[in-house]
Amino acid sequence: MPNRAAKNDLVTPEQVERVFQATDQFFIVRDAVIVPLSAGAEGAVTVIPDGKMIVRPPVDFEPWIAQLPAQLASMNLAKVPRVKSGW
């Protein structure tokens, strides 16, 4: 039988939306943001060579999401696609 994540280890649609709200502050194209549906032990943000960004929330979501904008601000996001005009 396959190993399945515990229900509380899954990222909810509401949490995914909050990740998008954080990346929206930097005008990052949502299609470039990949949010895995299984939470990690620790949160991680990685820009991969094709310019997409993998954002893996941790199980302890609230403290992590509060600091996500500061983490994004400290990263080199030059390769990540941005929205070119107003929404």
pLDDT of residue 84: 85
| H-assigned helices in the chain | 13-24, 61-73
Q: How far apart are CA 3 and CA 9, in angstroms?
A: 13
Neighbours of 45 (CB within 10 A): 18
Q: How far apart are CA 57 and CA 71, in angstroms?
A: 13
Mean pLDDT of the chain: 92
H/E stretch holding 33: strand 33-34
Q: Any idea which of 20-24, 37-41, 82-86 has the lowest mean pLDDT?
A: 82-86
Write the pLDDT tens digit of every residue in 26-64: 999 999 999 999 999 999 999 999 999 999 999 999 999
Question: What average pLDDT does range 68-87 have in this prediction?
Answer: 91
Question: What average pLDDT does range 2-9 have in this prediction?
Answer: 60
Q: Which residue has the higher pLDDT, 56 or 3?
A: 56
Please report which confidence band the pLDDT of residue 1 belongs to, taking 50, 70 and 90 as the band edges.
Answer: very low
**Which pair of structure tokens corresponds to residue 58?**
């941790």
